[in-house]
Amino acid sequence: MGTTSEKNWEPKIVAFLCNWCSYAGADLAGVSRFQYPPNIRIIRLPCSGRVSANMILDALRSGADGVLVSGCHPGDCHYISGNLFARRRFALLNNLLEFVGIEPGRVNFSWVSASEGEQFAEVVKEVTDKVKKLGPSTRLVKRIG
């Protein structure tokens, strides 16, 4: 596990993207050649409604310096309402994590549609910048041994 003193430290960001909007938006960023930092690893899921608090916490526990969850805009969900149920779960988790002292910016949420390639790139830049400023994650990280 790196420390802040390491000059070459680059954040590791895990992204949970819904297949129908945000993953498509990420593809469109590629098609349009919008460049963004290579610090992100995408896990493709059917819907942002598939993302549970446990999964987000597990990403932190596994050592991700940042987490991004992105789904369809409210109203656009391919599964009608998955993102709307998820939005409540995310809002509560987001507040709870901040409450116990997890830095705002470690866990991020966005709505990116299939036609928002540039927005996807912007979101990744924004999240990467934020996490870089925060430095390596130390809270809720599982220390091995």
Partner 1 sequence: MSTVNEKITEKIRSEAQRLLSTGEVAAFIGYEAGSLPMSVRPFVARKQEDASRLVWNSFCVLNLANYLPALLKSFEPPRRPGDPPPEGPLPKVGILATGCWSRNIVVQIKENQVDRDRVVIVGVPSRGMVSARKVKEAVGERDIQTCIEEDHSLKICGEGFEQELNRWDVVRDNCKTCVHPDPVIYDILIGDPAGERQVQDRFAQVDEIEHKSLEERWNWFADSFSSCVRCYACRNACPLCYCPTCFVDDSRPQWVGKSTEQTDTMLFHILRAYHCAGRCTDCGSCESVCPVGIPMRLLTKKLNKDVLEMYGSEAGMSLDEPLPLTTYNPADPQGFVLTEKSEKGGDR
Partner 2 sequence: MSNKKNQQGNTGALSEVSGSVLVVGGGIAGVQAALDLADSGFYVHLVEKSAAIGGGMSQLDKTFPTNDCSACILSPKLVECGRHLNINLLTLSELVSLEGEPGSFKAVVKQNPRYVDPEKCIACGTCAEKCPKKVVNEFDMGLGKRKAIYLKYPQAVPLKYAIDAQHCIWLNKPGRCGMCEKVCPSKAINFDDKPTEHMLEIGSVIMAPGFKPFDPSRLDYTGYGRLPNVVTSMEFERLLSPSGPCMGHMERPSDGKEPKKIAWLQCVGSRDINRACHGYCSSVCCMYAIKQAVIAREHSESGDLDASIFFMDMRTHGKEFEEYYNRAASEGVKFHRARIHSVLPSGENDNLRVRYAGEDGEIRYEDFDLVVLSVGLEMPQQAIELAAKAGVSLDADKFIVTDPFKPVSTSRNGVFVCGAAAEPKDIPQSVMEASAAALEAGRILAPARWKDTKKKEYPPEKNVYSEPPRIGVFVCSCGINIASVVDVEAVTEYAKTLPGVVLAQNNLFTCSQDTIDQMEETIRKEGLNRVVVASCTPRTHEPLFQETLRNAGINKYLFEMANIRDQDSWVHQNEPEAATEKAKDLIRVAVAKVRGDAPLPYNSVKVTKSALVIGAGVAGMTAAVSLADQGFPVTLVERKDDIGGHARKFYRTWQGNPVQDYLASLVDTVKSHENIDLKCGVSVKGVSGSVGNFTTVLTDGTELKHGVSIIAVGAGSFKPDSDSRWNYLYGKNPNVHTLLELDQKFIAEDSSLSGINQTVFIHCVGSRVPERPYCSRVCCTHAIDQALKLKELNPDMDIFMLYRDIRTYGQRERLYQEARAKGIIFIRYDLENLPAVTEEGGNIKVTVKDPIIDAEVELNPDMLVLATAVRPKVDVHDLAKFFKCSIRADGFLMEAHMKLRPVDFATDGIFLAGLCHYPKPMDETIAQAQAAASRASIVLSQDEIPAESITAQVDPRKCTGCAVCTEVCAYNAVSIDEATEKAVVNEAMCKGCGACVAGCRSDAITLKNMGNEQIMAELETIMDNW
Q: Does 15 bind partner 1 (CB under 8 A)?
A: no
Which of residues 42, 87, 118, 125 is near partner 1 by CB under 8 A?
A: 87
**Piece in contact with partner 2 (CB under 8 A), picked from 59-67, 91-99, 100-108, 127-135:** 59-67
**Piece in contact with partner 2 (CB under 8 A), picked from 69-77, 99-107, 128-136:** 69-77
Instruction: Measure the CA–CA gap between 3 and 101, rounded to whole angstroms.
Output: 19
* Residue 60 parent element (H or E): helix 53-61
Q: Does 4 bind partner 2 (CB under 8 A)?
A: no
Q: Does 95 bind partner 1 (CB under 8 A)?
A: yes
C-alpha dihedral, 124 to 21 to 18 to 103, nearest 10°:
30
Q: Does 30 bind partner 1 (CB under 8 A)?
A: no
Instruction: Measure the CA–CA gap between 57 and 16, rounded to whole angstroms.
Output: 12
- In this complex, which beta carbon is closest to partner 1, that of residue 8 or of residue 144? 144
Nearest approach, Cβ of 119 to partner 1 (angstroms)?
7
Q: Does 43 bind partner 1 (CB under 8 A)?
A: no
Instruction: Measure the CA–CA gap between 121 and 102, rounded to whole angstroms.
Output: 25
Q: Does 58 bind partner 1 (CB under 8 A)?
A: yes
Beta-strand (E) ranges in the chain? 13-18, 40-45, 66-71, 107-111
